[in-house]
Amino acid sequence: MVVVSDFEGGKERVEEADYVTVEENVADTKALVWKQDLRIVPLCAGIYLLCYLDRSNIGNAKTLNSSTHDDLLSDTHMTNFQYIIALMVFLIAYAIFEVPSNYFLKKLSPSKWISFLMFSWGIMTIGLGFTHNFAGVTAVRFLLGMFEAGLFPGLVYYLTFWYRTSERSIRVAFILASATLAGAFGGAIAFGVGHMNGTHGMSAWRWLFIIEGIPSCLSSILVFFYLPDYPETVKWLSKDEKDLATNRLATEGAKRGDKGLTWQEAKETLCTWRLYAHYAIYFGISTPFSSLSLFTPSITAGLGYKNLEAQLMTVPPYAVAYVVTILVSWSADYFNARALHSSIMALVGAIGFTASALLPPTSYNSRYGCLIIAASGAFSCIPPLLGFLSSNIFSTAGIGLAIALNISVGAPGQIAGVWIYKSDQAKQGFPLGHWVNAGLLYFVCAGCIGLRFYYGWRNKRVGEGMRRFAY
């Protein structure tokens, strides 16, 4: 049995842990974690890269070969308003299906559930290449959102089966940073696929969906067989390694034998009001994240880059953001200062958007530099934010619910993100979108600082042997 001091509830909580007592050796632990990393992190990052590629490629399809009217909107006879609706429908489905997805991940096992999601969203992506009208695009986008919804909260929850709180942020960062890598690859792929326009009588945007959907379907087979479920079930760990892996997660992770979430545990998670501050902050970052993901090709097109060149110029902002995200997340874990790192990078992103809004529309080079700064700040503050949340959830039973709720609360922010970059403001440099994103990132910065000081104040009131808040 493991006793956990819960100073929020004013009592000690007893959690069951049928573990063999293993005295941790630093070298053994490092070797174990490295062994887990090699098996888990690259595979999870690859899964999320494909997911994000299939989600955001509609932004490339909108501008691909638009000068010859062979783009998504022209071929499907959609208006810009209908295009926005199709984007929003995806996010509505995303919000609805995020929370229940973590239940099925635990019920069926991670490898089975994630491979099912992966194959399904791959089929939906391919299906987008064969749509011919607004109704078809919207219906398929809804189904795509339904299947993709469970992946990110599922992967964050999945890491709790393998890693301690202090170890998760950098690994979440590697997974989340693959979204920026997908953005870079997506622009490069769209540039290449753009030359296939008219091949076999199909526009290039159709080929884009087909070509980018196939890898998800094929990779789902690999995930089914090779994604490890739990430390207790894998064959590539020795008995001593399995004991060490489960023992060290006694109070800082989830495990295979955990009972399902009870109503009382769900109620405790739902009524822990400080968590709603985390959710509000994540809402703030969701709008910049969503709008950059979907409208970077449109933003670059508004900077004087046209046609295929606009696709290619989306690569540098994402590539720089990838490197910055990894470095910031490593630093946040190393110095155990996630709130500080998130607030600083949110401020950097806000400054980038503010400068973009203030600069003259014709200052193309300066505004392109600001786009790189804004993307780097907005993307890199997210992994420490998620680590900040998960390190302050003291119930292992409720961690999956809290993570899913956090990301679901961000969904309305993502929906807002599809409306702020208006096509009629392209010649003005999209000032509304930049101002909204700047304001929300200033809010994220202030929220992180406020929550950090609140937790510091709470820690001063903690008695000996009580678990402290991490910030």
Helix (H, G, I), strand (E, B) or coil at 5: strand
Report the largest interatomic distance among the alpha carbons of the chain, rounded to a whole angstrom.
Answer: 73
Q: Which residue has the higher pLDDT, 38 or 403?
A: 38
CB count, 10 Å around CB of 12? 12
Residue 465 lies in a domain: no
pLDDT score, position 259: 57
pLDDT score, position 1: 45
Asked whether the predicted pLDDT for residue 253 surpasses 90, the reply is no
Residue 440 lies in a domain: yes
Residue 206 lies in a domain: yes
Banded pLDDT at 303 (limits 50, 70, 90)? confident
Residue 470 lies in a domain: no
Alpha-carbon torsion (152, 153, 156, 161), positive or negative? negative
Residue 36 lies in a domain: yes
Asked whether the predicted pLDDT for residue 9 surpasses 50, the reply is no
pLDDT score, position 267: 81
DSSP label at residue 71: S
Q: Which residues contact 296 (CB under 8 A, 6 or more apart)?
A: 59, 183, 187, 314, 317, 318, 371, 375
pLDDT score, position 116: 97
**How many folded domains does the chain comprise?**
1
Alpha-carbon torsion (41, 43, 49, 54), positive or negative? negative
pTM for this model (two decimals): 0.83
Asked whether the predicted pLDDT for residue 291 surpasses 80, the reply is yes
Render pLDDT for 78-99 as a digit per residue (tens, 0 to 9). 999 999 999 999 989 988 888 7
CB 102 within 8 A of CB 258: no
CB 340 within 8 A of CB 404: no
Give the H/E segment covering residue 380. helix 364-380
Banded pLDDT at 239 (limits 50, 70, 90)? very high
pLDDT score, position 4: 46
Banded pLDDT at 49 (limits 50, 70, 90)? very high
pLDDT score, position 408: 81
Give strand pairing partners of 3: 14
Render pLDDT for 124-149 as a digit per residue (tens, 0 to 9). 999 999 999 999 999 999 999 999 99
For residue 137, the one-letter residue type is: V
CA pair distance 383, 444, nearest whole angstrom: 13
Render pLDDT for 165-195 as a digit per residue (tens, 0 to 9). 778 778 888 898 898 888 888 989 999 999 9
pLDDT score, position 25: 76
Q: Which domain holds residue 281?
A: 2-459
Residue 467 lies in a domain: no
Tell me the C-alpha to C-alpha distance, in Å, between residue 11 and each of 207, 258, 455: 60, 21, 19
Asked whether the predicted pLDDT for residue 272 surpasses 60, the reply is yes
Helix (H, G, I), strand (E, B) or coil at 19: coil
Q: What token pair was written down for 464?
A: 């000996």
φ, ψ of residue 362 in degrees (nearest 5)? -90, 0
CB count, 10 Å around CB of 259? 8
DSSP label at residue 113: H
Q: What average pLDDT does this structure show over 384-406?
A: 79
Q: What average pLDDT does this structure show over 195-221?
A: 95
Residue 446 lies in a domain: yes
CB 444 within 8 A of CB 353: no
CA pair distance 145, 143, nearest whole angstrom: 5
CA pair distance 356, 326, nearest whole angstrom: 25
Residue 471 lies in a domain: no
Give strand pairing partners of 15: 2
Task: Point out the least confidently predicted range of 93-97, 249-253, 303-307.
Answer: 249-253
Helix (H, G, I), strand (E, B) or coil at 3: strand
pLDDT score, position 15: 46
Helix-strand-coil split of the chain, %, nearest 5: 75, 0, 25
Mean pLDDT of the chain: 87
Q: What is the DSSP string of 274-317?
A: THHHHHHHHHHHHHHHHHHHHHHHHHHHTTT--HHHHHHTTHHH
The CATH number given to whatever domain includes residue 151 is: 1.20.1250.20
pLDDT score, position 69: 86
Q: What average pLDDT does this structure show over 249-273?
A: 71
